[in-house]
Copies of this chain bind each other. A is one copy, B any other.
Amino acid sequence: MTYIAKPKILHGGLERNALGLTIRDYEGGMSTLCAGCGHDSVTAAIVQAIFELDIPPHRVAKMSGIGCSSKTPAYFLSASHGFNSVHGRMPSVATGAAAANCGLYLLGVSGDGDSLSIGIGQFAHAVRRNLDMCYIIENNGVYGLTKGQFSASADVGSKAKKGEVNQQPPIDAVQLAMTLGGTFVARSFSGDKDQLVPLIKAAIKHEGFALVDVLSPCVTFNDHEDSTKSYAYTRQFFHRAMHLDYVPPAEEIKAAYDEGEVMPVQLHDGSRILLRKISEDYNVNNRGAAIDYIRAHQRKGEIVTGLLYIDESEPDMHGLNRTTLTPLSEIPYERLCPGSETLSKLQKRYR
């Protein structure tokens, strides 16, 4: 649970947010995923997070590629625009969407296959551009939709349902993003809603590329024994580097903390992330240290979760390109077309 005051219950049942909307208004179509699929929990967390952020659904653009994970945008925020692109190429579409309209919240949902195999190039370059979006990888170590082949995030020694053992080293989206200069890098677990919801909120509010790598077990093809991406295994080995809460702008921090126990991180819009019980040897603003910390726990077989690295100082893609603050899609044509006189002046050098 979070430390911020929950919206009060209005008379007549369902909780309403600042926009007077209920959580129903943030839900989507009926999921066609397998019963128990981790992705459905992530869907629930997304619904919760955006409802609590008081964002009008139609101001959110849902982006995805292809895969079971990439289907989920159909299962949340039916009132939002959705873009189910081709396999592994969502980051480029999101890049274009961001370029055209800097005013929308971009929420990307992808899979480990979609982002780390066919899509790794676009993923890497979206990170590099510091594209302003929340990018969630629903990571299950397999290609669910094509029936369970190993993905690039499968761990060495992990066993497939049919018995095959993976030998290739995994690609860790978190360490990859760190190396590529990612400005917001987080990991979580579909079964840890307390952590996931505030993380997604912070990721959405972060101005730049916010990666949330969510371990999200595939009950049908990768939830058996000897799988390192099963519910059981993940529950046993995931290690919260911290507890965290998201505190919206205006809101003052209610609870009292002892010095040092809490580390607040300020986001662009004034909202804050409160990191609590953070292991003292951890520094969320130090890339190198973060990488070390993750690797150290990795050697112990532990999966560190939480907000692992954040840097609010780097400019996002628009900052890098110095584009105007008006969404390009809203600039009137008159302002864009130089007109006949200029045209004839322009041609002097060609005469």
Chain A residues within 8 Å of B, Cβ to Cβ: 117-121, 124-125, 128-129, 152, 167-169, 171-172, 175-176, 178-181, 287-288, 291-292, 295, 314-315, 320
Contact = CB atoms under 8 A, between A and B. Distances in A.
A183 to B, nearest CB: 10
A152 B287 CA distance: 20
Contacts of A171: 124, 128, 180
5 tightest A-B CB contacts, nearest first: A121-B121, A169-B181, A167-B320, A179-B179, A120-B121
A175 B128 CA distance: 14
Instruction: Indicate how many identical chains form the complex.
Output: 2
B120 A124 contact: yes
A167 B124 contact: no
Contact of A291 (B117, B291, B320): B291
A302 to B, nearest CB: 15
A129 B124 CA distance: 19
A91 to B, nearest CB: 12
15 contacts: A117-B125, A120-B120, A120-B121, A120-B124, A120-B125, A125-B152, A128-B169, A128-B171, A129-B168, A167-B315, A175-B179, A178-B179, A287-B295, A288-B295, A291-B291
Contacts of A124: 120, 124, 171
Contact of A128 (B152, B287, B292, B315): B152
Contacts of A118: 121
Contacts of A178: 179
Given A169-B181, A171-B180, A291-B291, 10 more contacts: A117-B125, A118-B121, A120-B121, A167-B320, A169-B314, A176-B180, A287-B295, A288-B291, A288-B292, A292-B292
Scoring A124, A152, A172, A292 by chain B CB atoms within 10 A of each residue's CB, the highest score goes to A124
A290 B292 CA distance: 11
Nearest to A119: B121
| Residue among A121, A129, A175, A176 with the highest chain B CB neighbour number at 10 A | A121
Contacts of A295: 287-288
Nearest to A124: B120
A232 to B, nearest CB: 26
A102 B296 CA distance: 35
A123 to B, nearest CB: 9
A291 B291 CA distance: 9
A295 B181 CA distance: 12
B288 A168 contact: no
